[in-house]
Amino acid sequence: MRELGRRLAKLLRAGDLVMLTGELGAGKTTLTRGLGEGMGVRGAVTSPTFVIARVHPSLGDGPPLVHVDAYRLSGGLDEMEDLDLDVSLPDSVIVVEWGEGKVEELTEERLQVVIHRAVGDTTDEVRHVTLTGLGDRWSDAALETLTA
């Protein structure tokens, strides 16, 4: 998952919204950690579950990474307005864990990443990842090369 994040980071630019979906332990934060490494941002990328959002400024000339964990938020975009994601979006890459049904109104152009893993009594560490780009931004992004 971390390596996938590093590869995906090469495609991201300011204004991108990435929504991560998957059960607990699927690898959402690990993928985001790889994004942070690939984007060259400051600070350790860890789960923002209790602070809801963390901003990781770029160490170079790239955009900051805004990492949001919407797990504890029950409402839609209304509840997330305090985070000012709509203000941050044009200048940042925003990654939202558990964002389905909560942040779609931010933009019609977004990347949805769905992570499936084996659950139950298993040692299977294999993840199956589905990347779906929505909008013109993602129409020619060659997403299929990331999971090959």
pLDDT value at position 32? Answer: 95
Classified as helix, coil or strand, 47 is coil
pLDDT value at position 89? Answer: 72
CATH numbers and ranges of domains, the chain: 1-135 (3.40.50.300)
Q: What is the pLDDT of residues 95-148, one digit of tens each?
A: 999 888 777 878 889 999 999 987 766 666 788 999 999 999 998 888 877 765
Report DSSP letters for 56-100, one per residue.
E-BSSSS--EEEEE-TT--S-HHHHGGGTHHHHGGGSEEEEET-T
First to last CA, the chain: 13
pLDDT value at position 88? Answer: 73
CA 68 to chain centroid, in Å, comes to: 8
pLDDT value at position 90? Answer: 83
- Strand-pairing partners, residue 58, are 41
Q: What is the pLDDT of residues 36-57, one digit of tens each?
A: 999 999 988 888 766 678 888 9
d(CA 142, CA 50): 35
Q: What is the pLDDT of residues 59-108, one digit of tens each?
A: 999 999 999 888 776 665 555 555 656 667 788 999 999 888 777 878 88
pTM confidence score? 0.86
The closest of 20, 28, 7, 27 to 141, measured between CA atoms, is 7
